[in-house]
Structure 1
Amino acid sequence: MSRSKDIEYLLRRGVAQVEKEADLRRMLVEGNKGEPLRVKLGVDPTHYELTIGHAVVFRKLRQFQRLGHKTVLVIGDWTARLGDPSGREEARKPLTEEQVNANASTYLEQFFRIVDREQTEIRRQSEWFDKFALGDAIKLLGYKTVAQMLERDDFSKRYKSGIEIYLAEFMYPLLQAYDSVALRADVEIGGTDQTFNLLVGRELQPSFGQASQQILTVNLIVGLDGVKKMGKSLDNYIAITAPANDMFGKLMSLPDHAMRIYFEALTDVSDEELNEFEQKIAEGTLNPRDVKLRMAREIVTEFHDGQAAEQAQEAFIRQFSERKVPSDIPEYRLSAPKNIVELIAEAKLAASNNKARELIRQGGVQFLPTGEMSKAERVADPEFIVPALDGAVLKVGKRQYIRIRA
């Protein structure tokens, strides 16, 4: 693509809003006094793994980098300890410094799977907030009123519902905003749930003698339920580090209505082709399943490679279309008959005995004595004893299998 088309793609593809778009477009076209733009993204290391929902923003950073601009990644080692209230109906539990540092190390490895390391500056909030005195914090609070804070949607809902809002939570948007001051950010990007925080940074910078940063927000993708946004707390996510086969299978479970936003957010398939898909599906000349296979293949290629994506598709078709057990499933050594609940938990097919019982009650557990899907028996009794039968297979949920070795 030409530079003008690259700029248009950056400003349009998967984008929810650009604050003062004309200003950002001018900076992208005319340059920034000969210097690359400093494009800021803040991440709070609140978990050890990232989801493909995070990758939506990372891909947008990569588009800025391809135009020659610099990514400034802020590790929120202070704000993670406060807990980000964005989009939440309750306060998030704060983390210890040790938890934050451990999570941050895994975040960076996953981040650089997508974003160019050479064009990235990594900073930590502790560089400036460790030097903050009580007076500095109080002065920062003086830039916003309680009424202004309550304009934020999640705070407003909680206030009206009588759900507690802690004063520490009011600090979060201001701390994130001060990051932009400390880094002299030209642009800040984030999901639509971050719009309020990003705008606080834009408003704060002139008070410190800086030009206001430009704001670009991207559309959040829904989780595997097709309704709520993807999130680890909702367990409706796909991890960036998920194996290719697992990622492919989960993508194929996505409701049809969510395919378009996944295509736009996580692939470079053209809008013209996506429009053609939608038209043909509406006409009945194209099977939505074929489009979903294309979507899953494109996304798995993004996080793995083309060969892994092709192999994952073959495994998926073999498993679900031909109803065959995958060939590469893990083995479980069983020297004597064992209770089904205990076996599922020990094999890490469920997080606990209670989760295993719940899966059984929901009809999600099958025993294949011969290892063939045609001989599958649904397990309905949590007291079922799994025999030490060499070659038998246990299926838990839609995609988890183990092969028993006696």
Structure 2
Amino acid sequence: MDLNAQIALLKRGCVSLVSEAELAKKLSSGRTLRVKLGVDPTSADLHLGHAVVLTRLRRFQDLGHTAVLIIGDFTAQVGDPSGRDSTRPTLTAAEVAANAKTYQEQAFKILDPKKTELRFNSEWLTPFMREHLLETLKRHTVQQLLSREDFKNRLAENSPLTLLEILYPLLQGYDSVAVKADVELGGNDQLTNLLMGRKMQVDAGQEAQVALTEALLVGLDGVKKMSKSYGNAISLNDPPNEMFGKVMKVSDELMLAYYELLTDADVAAVKAAHPMKMKKELARTLVARFSGETAANEALAYFENTFSKKELPTDLRVVSVSAGLTLSEIIVRAAGAKSRGEARRLITQGGVKSDGVKMLADDAFPAPAAFVLQMGKHQFVKIEVTAS
């Protein structure tokens, strides 16, 4: 593959690249690049939002480069403040260790283990905090660290901002020094941290890494970035039928972003095809990727038999609701629940499904949307969400 084709592949769907000229120079050198990705194990599972950057990392591997996957067992106990309006919950060392184990297992559903260097940043950050922190702090100003928009917003709103959070960019930046990264990948909310890594590498006498950031994958609510804490995530470990059903809930517009960020498909061709056909293909592709072809084909058959072929009550009622209503409000209006409290209890008990997928969060639904709402075993109603 020639240089221009490599750059086009590696840039697909990216938001920021600092800089393309530097990336071209590194790729032209003919050496095996060290491409860094750091993940803090803050929950038990990876989701499709993580898969976006892991997919790009795999593309580097397929071009012959080494993925340096850093498990942030040290930084997870600090808490990455990027894009946050509040401090992350504190995790114990035991919780971090348990999460780190599942992160590794799930990451290798995408990455090639033979081309991956797995590291834990406690290896160098523990001695760094003891031996080099004061020297590093001398090189960075308070104004520089507080110039970030997320920090500015929290200060303006008088939301607590811990000293550890302020130090987080320095810790992530030192990761790049420790592993001698040539390229670092991350979400676009990580750009400040990646640029800090460039500066710290130059301070340490190293060549600055290329910083390449991703668009943040929007979750099932169609509004916020995908996150377990927002209840809008599709986990890599979701059962095949559940993953398939969740992908089918994604809006047609959002589906195009999923294709661009998670597959190598021609987005223009996807856009020109029938949305339902392409959404089923997206769901089948993703389930196959994480659970295998057999499971993907079975999930497709299950979905079509249950929903597409209308194997539902013949007198299925259709109820139109306005966009912005939460799930509990919809249940009260459409399914006869006596109160939102009763509806929430049904949700938390796992008694509510949307297109066959259990709904465990009381989220609002954007328009346009249409889905079959199931309460218990026998109560079905088709919900059509329209613009207010």
TM-score normalized by the length of structure 1? 0.78
Cα distance per residue 1:58-87 (max 9 Å; x no partner): 111111111111111111111100111011
Identity %: 44
Are the aligned partners of 1:365 and 1:396 in contact in 2 as well (CA < 8 Å)? no
State the shift of 1:28 in Å: 1.1
Taking the aligned partners of 2:328 and 2:181, their CA distance within structure 1 comes to: 52
Higher radius of gyration, 1 or 2: 1
Are the aligned partners of 1:359 and 1:365 in contact in 2 as well (CA < 8 Å)? no
Q: Is 2:241 the counterpart of 1:262?
A: no
State the shift of 1:169 in Å: 0.7
Who is 1:380 aligned against?
A: 337
Taking the aligned partners of 2:270 and 2:63, their CA distance within structure 1 comes to: 30
State the shift of 1:134 in Å: 4.4
Taking the aligned partners of 1:242 and 1:131, their CA distance within structure 2 comes to: 38
Q: Is 2:292 the counterpart of 1:305?
A: yes
Taking the aligned partners of 2:160 and 2:337, their CA distance within structure 1 comes to: 43
SS in 2 for 1:131: helix
Who is 2:70 aligned against?
A: 74
Who is 2:331 aligned against?
A: 363
Are the aligned partners of 1:365 and 1:395 in contact in 2 as well (CA < 8 Å)? no
Cα distance per residue 1:161-184 (max 9 Å; x no partner): 222211111110000101111111
Who is 1:8 aligned against?
A: 7
The number of equivalent residue pairs is: 340
Who is 2:199 aligned against?
A: 203
Provide runs of 4+ in structure 1 moved above 6 Å.
Answer: 358-361, 401-404
Q: Is 2:352 the counterpart of 1:396?
A: yes
State the shift of 1:102 in Å: 0.8
Residue of structure 2 aligned with 1:124, choices 117, 120, 131: 120
Are the aligned partners of 1:51 and 1:240 in contact in 2 as well (CA < 8 Å)? yes
Residue of structure 1 aligned with 2:276, choices 268, 280, 289: 289
State the shift of 1:94 in Å: 1.9
Taking the aligned partners of 1:152 and 1:133, their CA distance within structure 2 comes to: 23
Are the aligned partners of 1:361 and 1:380 in contact in 2 as well (CA < 8 Å)? no
Are the aligned partners of 1:364 and 1:397 in contact in 2 as well (CA < 8 Å)? no
Name whichever of 290-299 and 74-83 sits farther off: 290-299
Against the structure 1 CA distance between its residues 3 and 364, is the aligned structure 2 distance closer, same or farther, given a 3 Å change threshold? farther
Are the aligned partners of 2:146 and 2:166 in contact in 1 as well (CA < 8 Å)? no
Against the structure 1 CA distance between its residues 162 and 365, is the aligned structure 2 distance closer, same or farther, given a 3 Å change threshold? closer
Unaligned runs of 5+ in 1: 281-285, 326-357, 367-377, 385-393
SS in 1 for 2:228: coil
Who is 1:283 aligned against?
A: none
1:4-403 to structure 2, matched below 5 A, reads: 4=3, 6-32=5-31, 36-132=32-128, 134=130, 136-270=132-266, 274-278=267-271, 280=272, 287-324=274-311, 362-363=330-331, 378=335, 380=337, 396-398=352-354, 399=356, 400=358
The letter for the 2-side match of 1:275 is A
SS in 2 for 1:247: helix
TM-score normalized by the length of structure 2? 0.81
Taking the aligned partners of 2:139 and 2:30, their CA distance within structure 1 comes to: 31
CA root-mean-square deviation: 2.6
Who is 1:355 aligned against?
A: none
State the shift of 1:395 in Å: 5.8
Are the aligned partners of 2:332 and 2:338 in contact in 1 as well (CA < 8 Å)? no
Against the structure 1 CA distance between its residues 158 and 360, is the aligned structure 2 distance closer, same or farther, given a 3 Å change threshold? closer
Against the structure 1 CA distance between its residues 44 and 252, is the aligned structure 2 distance closer, same or farther, given a 3 Å change threshold? same
Who is 2:319 aligned against?
A: none
Unaligned runs of 5+ in 2: 313-325, 343-349, 359-373, 379-388
Are the aligned partners of 2:284 and 2:297 in contact in 1 as well (CA < 8 Å)? yes
Cα distance per residue 1:326-351 (max 9 Å; x no partner): xxxxxxxxxxxxxxxxxxxxxxxxxx
State the shift of 1:314 in Å: 1.8
